[in-house]
A and B are shown apart, each in its own frame.
Chain A
Amino acid sequence: MSLALDLFTVVAVVLGAFFFLAGTVGLLRFPDSLSRLHALTKADNLGLGLIVLGLLPQATSLLGVLKLVAIWGLVQLSGATVAQVVASAIRRRQDPPS
């Protein structure tokens, strides 16, 4: 049982780290700000989400589980808002109001 859980942790954390890598590569390689923003949101949502998912079996208490889920939820909320707000800031910059 514990071996299966550990394996789950390893797989989820590796996947999460992969999405951080993907987000960073996108941030560096994509040609314009909007596509870079797209890459960034992948790291925010999937990267951290998978790492939290992977750490859940390692949590030692109910409070620990609750904290992990709360952290993921807060980052989700913030990430979504930041994507919206930054995207409209980029748009404003590209076509300035007449």
Chain B
Amino acid sequence: MTATTLAGLTGAALIGLGLYGVLVNVHALRKILAFNLIGSGVFLVFGLVARRGAVAGFAADPVPQAMVITGIVVAFSATALAIGLLLRLHERRVEDAAAESDNRSDNKSDKT
């Protein structure tokens, strides 16, 4: 078994692990991590595809590899935005909880 096939199988296993994590983990941060595992698994599959395109003196096909680099950048952007949203949501929850406990003294709050 070559390093390349091994990397492909690792990619497949990572996709599976990530899928399990996205489905099972409750915490949103952990879902983001798991989603990134799926992403890097897919990238490794691209690595396999690139390596299968190794012809006539080339170590690998550059096109899938370049796509992986673009993919890593976009995945990072998406992760950063997701974490930004998550943190803001958390802040709002804390603010709402604080406001609710303030209001509780004078009127009955109806929790949504």
Direct contact of A and B (CB under 8 A): no
